[in-house]
Amino acid sequence: MANKNSNLGAARMNKNDEFYTQFSDIQMEVNAYLEYDPDVFRGKTILLPCDDPEWSNFTKFFAQNFENFGLKRLISTSYAVESKKYKNWEPTLFETEAPQYDEDKSKTHGKIFTLDRDTNNSGKVDIEDLEWRYLEGDGDFRSEEVKALRDESDIIVTNPPFSLFREFVAWIMEANKRFLIIGNINCVTYKEIFPLIRDNRIWTGCRFNKRVNGKNMTFLVPDSYELTGTELYTDESGKKFISVAGTGWFTNLDHGRRHEPIQLMTMADNIKFSKHKEVKGHQYNHYENYDGIDVPFADAIPSDYEGIMGVPISWIDKYCPEQFEIIGSGSGYLGQSIGITGIPKEHKKMMRGHSAAGDLYMMVDGMPQVPYSRILIRKKK
């Protein structure tokens, strides 16, 4: 996973957070919630922070569907150009030809776009009716100005900066809002995020880490984006995109796939028929410092095991709350909090690589081994 997410890691280190979501990804995800509840957005005020309303696909999508979804109000805010990493930017004609255009504010102030009425008397409310003005500040979601917009909204939808994901989720939860946002699978291991997942206050969206046309979730990036490699490519028109593994939607809006239990085999059948060489023909490893077994693949969870199991964090996309309960995390501080004991010195001396207090470990061929981040689960009776 480290190699697949190298570009994301570099983006986080350098705060290259300007990843712009494609219209098709937004459409496919939102449609899943509408299929589950056609009135999920009806009468609601939607806030799209951390955005670029003039060309953002989030703004375009919800504005075009304002009447179809029965929205009450749409609010979209942008971040000031001078506060961004990439500043090689020119204002659009949409801005410069508006009577409220201000050359100085265009660089130092964020903008707010609102949609709630038919301003051009066309007989419908759509993208042509967007109204805008400059914000008092730079549009940072942590400002009191944007907090006030958060508090008046019902649902928050956006692709927040990866480097600020923890802080952004805390900002949402502080106001107890519904949301649909994009994040990376590794946030499941964060001590600030995992308890929210465990307590069913956050879950993965309908489409998470799903490959389309052979690519992971793909984002538009600025022309001057610094990363290179196979995950970065340019389309026929010269636009630059980055494909990021392990990325998808997090939400607290309900959808049908969340309640679909995964089909499982018994332990005996897994050992006999599993497609994974690590499982087929092998007994499941029991942890040395916690009462549970290690399950290296989500589809290898034994249907007839009643105890605690450690599964990969990628399992979270298949979590059905009616089928399993989440006990805790098997790593670091979170592991310590549920009673995972330390690794004895004699075993730690034999280990290759890093291990921390609270990490699960098991013996494999006579050698102690710490599996990559595990979620501890138990089947519901």
Q: What are the start-end ranges of the H helices in the chain?
A: 6-14, 23-36, 57-64, 66-69, 93-96, 103-108, 144-152, 165-174, 194-198, 267-273, 332-337, 345-348
Q: What's the rounded mean pLDDT across residues 166-194?
A: 96
pLDDT of residue 135: 96
Assign 196 a pLDDT band (cuts: 50, 70, 90). very high
Which amino acid is it at 29?
Answer: E
Q: Residue range 217-227: average pLDDT?
A: 70
What whole-number distance in Å separates Cα of residue 257 and Cα of residue 305?
A: 24
Residues 253-304 have pLDDT tens digits of 999 999 999 999 999 999 999 999 999 999 999 999 999 999 999 999 999 9
CB-CB contact of 157 with 223 (8 Å):
no
Q: How far is CA 12 from CA 154, 174, 232, in A?
A: 29, 24, 16
Name, in order, each residue with C-beta under 8 angstroms of 123's C-beta and a sequence gap of 6 or more.
none
Identify the pLDDT of residue 80. 86
CB 69 within 8 A of CB 31: no
Distance CA 90, CA 68 (A): 33
For 69-78, write each residue's pLDDT tens digit.
999 999 999 9
Question: Span 358-366, mean pLDDT?
Answer: 94
pLDDT in tens, 151-164: 999 999 999 988 89
- DSSP assignment of 286-317, as one string? BBSSSS-EE-SSGGG--TT--SEEEEEGGGGG
Task: Identify the pLDDT of residue 357.
Answer: 86
User: d(Cα 13, Cα 185) in Å, to the nearest integer?
Assistant: 17
Q: Find the helix packing angle between 23-36 and 57-64, rounded to 10°.
A: 40
Residue 226 pLDDT: 64
Judge contact between 368 and 343, C-beta under 8 A. Answer: yes
Give residue 55's pLDDT: 67
pLDDT at 305 (0 to 100): 97
90-146 pLDDT, tens digit each: 677 677 788 898 888 888 999 999 999 999 999 999 999 999 999 999 999 999 999
b/e burial code for range 28-56 (CB count within 10 A of at least 16 → b): ebbebbeebeeebbeebbbbbbbbbbbeb
pTM: 0.88
pLDDT at 321 over 70: yes
Q: What is the mean pLDDT of the chain?
A: 87
Banded pLDDT at 11 (limits 50, 70, 90): very low
